Amino acid sequence: MSGPWREPDAETQDYPGLWVHDGRVSGSITIGQSRLPLWAIIATAIHDDWGEVEDGWSPGDGFDAEALADFLHDLLNARGEFGRLLLTIAAAERGNREADDAVLDAHTDATGDTLVKIWPPGPDTVTMPAPWWESDHAEVVADALRRCLAALERSAG
C-alpha cells in the first residue's frame, strides 16, 4: 500500500451521506457516491451560503446544509487525544496546502493566472511538494494516532 489508499480500491460509507472511495477524487470524502468532495464546498458553505453551494455544485437531495452542519458538529466534538489528532492532521494538511501554494505562486503571472503541468513527470513538469504522509509530518501524526490507540486500549480494559 502506498499512501493512505487501500489496494484494491475500497468504497466505504462510515457516516450518513458521506463516502470515501480510494479511486475517486484521490480518496476524498465525497457527498454520496458522487465526485463532489467536501473540501470543494466548505468555504462556499461557510463564507457565502448553502444556496451558493447548490447553485455551483448541485450536491443533490440527500445532502444539505443541515447534514453538513451535523457532520462538522460530530467531527469537531472529538475530545482529548482524538481532538488533538484532528488538529494534527489539519496542521499537516495546512502545511501541504501552503507548500503547494508557494510552488504555484512562483508560476503565477501578472494577471493572476497559473498554468502548470504537474503530471505526468517530465522535463516540463513542475515538481510539487510530497504529501504530508511522506514528510516529517508523518511521525507527528503517527505519534498522535498512537496516543489515541493507547486511550482506546485503556478504555477497552
Q: Structural domains in the chain?
A: 1-77 (1.10.10), 78-157 (no CATH)
Reported as half-sphere exposure (CB side, CA atoms, 13 A), residue 14 has a value of 8
d(CA 87, CA 107) in angstroms, rounded, equals 30
- In the sheet where 11-15 sits, what is the strand order? 11-15, 18-21, 29-31
Q: Kindly state the DSSP code that residue 122 receives in the 8-state scheme.
A: S
Q: How many CA atoms lie within 13 A of 103 on its CB side?
A: 14
Alpha helices in the chain (DSSP H): 38-47, 50-57, 65-76, 80-105, 137-156
In tens digits, what is the pLDDT along the chain, a chain of 157 residues? 468 999 999 999 999 999 999 999 999 999 999 999 999 999 999 999 999 999 999 998 789 999 999 999 999 999 999 999 999 999 999 999 999 999 999 888 888 888 888 888 888 899 999 999 999 999 999 999 999 999 999 999 7
The answer to whether the pTM exceeds 0.85 is: yes
> If you count them, how many residues does the chain have?
157
